Amino acid sequence: MEGKLKIINFIRFLLKMFLSSYENKIDKKGRVSVPATFRSYLSSMGFNGFISYPSFNYSALEACSQDRIEKISNAIDSLNPFEEKRDFFATSILSDSENLQFDTEGRVSLSEKLLNHAKIKSDILFVGLGKTFQIWEPKNFDKFKIIARKKAYQNRSNLKWETKQKGELS
């Protein structure tokens, strides 16, 4: 009984964020299966898909829930409507965002524009980042991950947290 409880708690933990990395292939029709844990998390929030847009920083795609893109949109809307930076953010994020809906088999179709930005041909990597995830060409992500680990190590003292996390049991 205790083993089953641990498994149930672990599954509940997984459903609260996007974790881990999953590699898949794009089929001949341009569809890719989204990891089941990612679909479950989105479904638990009432979504049957996700929003994706080209990353500012990498040859990758940013991906998030509808709630998250609405927060980004609200942050953009909070800027002065007559400043250029508001238009720059709106154009760079919102105008390039695509609403990708799951088909009956849990797949989405990524546009050529998104695939080209991420340099994805056939293999695709879903990378969980907590409240969001990214989509990469696997070899490009491997190169990035080496750099990310080095920089995370160099900046590890900047990572701060409370002694008791929100929702954490003693």
Average pLDDT rounded to a whole number, residues 65-82: 95
Question: What does the block give as tokens for 17?
Answer: 């964020």
Which pLDDT band holds residue 160 (cuts at 50, 70, 90)? confident
Write down the pLDDT at residue 16.
80
Which pLDDT band holds residue 41 (cuts at 50, 70, 90)? very high
Answer yes or no: is pLDDT of 164 > 90.
no
Helix and strand counts by DSSP (H, E) for the chain: 6, 8
Range with the poorest average pLDDT among 51-60, 141-150, 151-160: 151-160
Range with the poorest average pLDDT among 1-15, 19-33, 46-60, 142-156: 1-15
| CATH number for the domain running over 16-153 | 3.40.1550.20
* Residues 6+ positions from 41 with CB-CB distance below 8 Å: 14, 15, 16, 17, 18
The structure tokens 């089953």 sit at 4
All structural domains of the chain with their residue ranges: 16-153
Nearest to 62 by CA among 87, 93, 31, 29: 93
Sheet holding 49-54, edge to edge: 21-25, 123-128, 133-136, 61-64, 49-54, 98-101
Question: Does the model's pTM come out above 0.95?
Answer: no
Which pLDDT band holds residue 159 (cuts at 50, 70, 90)? confident
